[in-house]
């Protein structure tokens, strides 16, 4: 029997049934507006809460760290997701995350740092200006999207805790709430989802703690209220709904590496020259570029070679995948 391994989504072409056409989307919005006007709760619950939950943010575009590419539509970004806590299909996170409560939110900062403790999200972000950064997200499944994130540089947040000289890595953990996250009631992955970065990767100016997109707070399906974004790495490093940040001396375990170690490594740097064991990484399908998609060459480090190559000087990138 052939057992298919779990993987961060689906590398095959999208099925017509997965595509939410513009007209269907607009009809849903009309339904939502009608429901709101009539004061009816429960109709299209996912959409009501999704639209209701996000709030405007004050953001300033950081041009230095933004692509000039046109971002994907809000619809693309919020309906084509990987968030296995809410199901395996791309449409599942938008449909199954309406009961998730991203507020109030507390993050535990632990491990090798002078200041540790539990912090309300508001306190974690206090004093940090929220930047907009347009990054490309390259999924390991060989598709990509351009997303206008809103967030704060991870380094600025981490430095306030004064990591000690033993802090060689930073580990992140997603919330464990099977009552609100139906995917956590099945054993598709080891819950909670965990990820990690080497400390110099975490301190790199491109690493972002995102709290929003398109100038609004994150919708649940995109990792509300706080998620990681490291644009030179495959999308699965961008852990969602973070509740713990731990400074460690040893390389921390990471969810996809636990799930399939010869397919997903710790580094997960985008690399068109190192194929996934089951498919090529040389090209990517741009989401939103039509049903037939537009396949374009994948760039080394997702286009951020100049900025990040020095982090990996002397390392064999085939061995450290
Ligand atoms: N907790 C958690 N974080 C996660 C995932 C997940 O399943 N669970 N999927 C990852 C993968 S494979 C990708 S490509 C990105 C997708 O982010 P987006 O849905 O906001 O585009 O989230 C990453 N973060
Ligand atoms: Mo992914």
pLDDT (tens digit per residue) in 241-290: 999 999 999 999 999 999 999 999 999 999 999 999 999 999 999 999 87
- Ligand 1, residue 221: give the atom nearest the CA: 19
Residue 271 has phi, psi (to 5 degrees) of -150, 105
- Is 233 annotated as belonging to a binding site? no
Give the pLDDT confidence score for residue 60 in this predicted structure: 97
* Spatial distance between the Cα atoms of 121 and 272, rounded to a whole number of angstroms: 37
Tell me: the pLDDT tens digits for 97-118?
999 999 999 999 999 999 999 9
What is the set of domains in the chain, with CATH numbers?
16-267 (3.90.420.10)
For a substitution probing ligand 1, which of 81, 83, 92 has the most ligand atoms within 8 Å of its CB?
A: 83
For residues 184-194, average pLDDT? 97
pLDDT at 143 over 50: yes
Beta carbons of 194 and 146 less than 8 angstroms apart: no
How close is the Cα of 79 to the center of ligand 1, in Å? 12
Grade residue 294 by pLDDT with cuts at 50, 70 and 90: confident
pTM of the predicted model as reported, rounded to 2 decimal places: 0.87
């Amino acid at each position: 029997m052939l057992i298919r391994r779990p993987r961060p989504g689906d590398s095959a072409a999208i099925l017509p049934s997965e595509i939410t056409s513009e007209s269907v989307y607009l009809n849903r919005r009309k339904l939502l507006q009608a429901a709101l006007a009539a004061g009816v709760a429960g109709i299209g619950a996912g959409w009501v809460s999704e639209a209701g939950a996000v709030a405007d943010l004050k953001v300033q575009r950081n041009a230095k760290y933004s692509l000039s590419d046109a971002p994907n539509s809000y619809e693309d970004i919020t309906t084509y997701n990987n968030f296995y806590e809410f199901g395996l299909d791309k449409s599942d996170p938008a449909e199954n995350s309406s009961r998730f409560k991203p507020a109030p939110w507390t993050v535990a900062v632990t491990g090798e740092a002078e200041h540790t403790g539990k912090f309300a999200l508001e306190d974690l972000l206090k004093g940090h200006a929220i930047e907009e950064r347009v990054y490309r997200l390259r999924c390991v499944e060989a598709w990509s999207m351009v997303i206008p994130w809103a967030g704060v540089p991870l380094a600025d947040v981490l430095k306030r805790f004064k990591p000690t000289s033993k802090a060689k890595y930073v580990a992140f953990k997603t919330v464990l709430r099977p009552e609100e996250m139906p995917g956590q009631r099945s054993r598709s992955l080891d819950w909670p989802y965990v990820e990690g970065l080497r400390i110099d990767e975490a301190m790199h100016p491109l690493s972002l703690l995102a709290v929003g997109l398109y100038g609004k707070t994150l919708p649940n399906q995109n990792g509300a209220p706080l998620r990681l974004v490291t644009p030179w790495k495959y999308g699965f490093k961008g852990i969602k709904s973070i509740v713990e940040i731990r400074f460690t001396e040893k390389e921390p375990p990471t969810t996809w590496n636990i799930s399939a170690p010869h397919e997903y490594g710790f580094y997960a740097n985008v690399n068109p020259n190192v194929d996934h064991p089951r498919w090529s990484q040389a090209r990517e399908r741009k989401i939103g570029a039509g049903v037939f998609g537009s396949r374009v060459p994948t760039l080394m480090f997702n286009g951020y070679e100049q900025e990040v190559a020095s982090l990996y000087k002397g390392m064999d990138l085939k061995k450290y995948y």
